[in-house]
Amino acid sequence: MTTTTTTTYSVSGMTCGHCAASVTTEVRTIPGVTEVAVDVPAGLVTISSAAPVSPGAVKAAVAEAGYEVTEASDEVTGSCCGGSTCSSSSTGSAP
Ligand SMILES: [Cu+2]
């Protein structure tokens, strides 16, 4: 039987699909991670892995993408990724 560990982290600063893509790309580089699901409106990153992934590794990956893992799920502040596809203040193209 295969056991999958699923862990959800709160990540601040994500405001658009491009932000989500950046985080997903970085988190997927963590050994053992099999799936990454990002909920931008909720500011949540759900990571599925074959074995428990250390929070430190997740924090480092998220930081690499330019965002920050927060323990609390409130107070989602900060600027967007600044990418050309961001739609935090204007209408952007849908992913
Ligand atoms: Cu963005």
Answer positive or negative: Cα dihedral of 22, 44, 55, 52.
Answer: negative
C-alpha 1 to ligand 1 mean position (Å): 38
Please give the pLDDT value at position 4.
87
Measured CA to CA, the distance from residue 81 to residue 49 in angstroms comes to 26
Q: Give yes or no for a contact between 71 and 81, defined as CB atoms under 8 angstroms apart.
A: no
Mean pLDDT over each residue of the chain, to the nearest integer: 82
- CATH domain 5-70 topology: Alpha-Beta Plaits (3.30.70)
Distance in Å, CA 46 to ligand 1 centroid: 18
Q: How far is the CA of 84 from the centre of ligand 1 (A)?
A: 8
Ligand 1 centroid – CA 63 distance (Å)? 14
SS (H, E, C) 56-91: HHHHHHHHHHCCEEECCCCCCCCCCCCCCCCCCCCC
What residue ranges do the domains of the chain occupy? 5-70
> Which pLDDT does position 85 carry in this prediction?
63
Question: How far away, in angstroms, is 24 Cα from ligand 1 center?
Answer: 12
pLDDT at 61 over 90: yes
CB 52 within 8 A of CB 9: no
- For residue 92 the two structure tokens come to 């952007």
Q: What is the pTM of this model?
A: 0.75
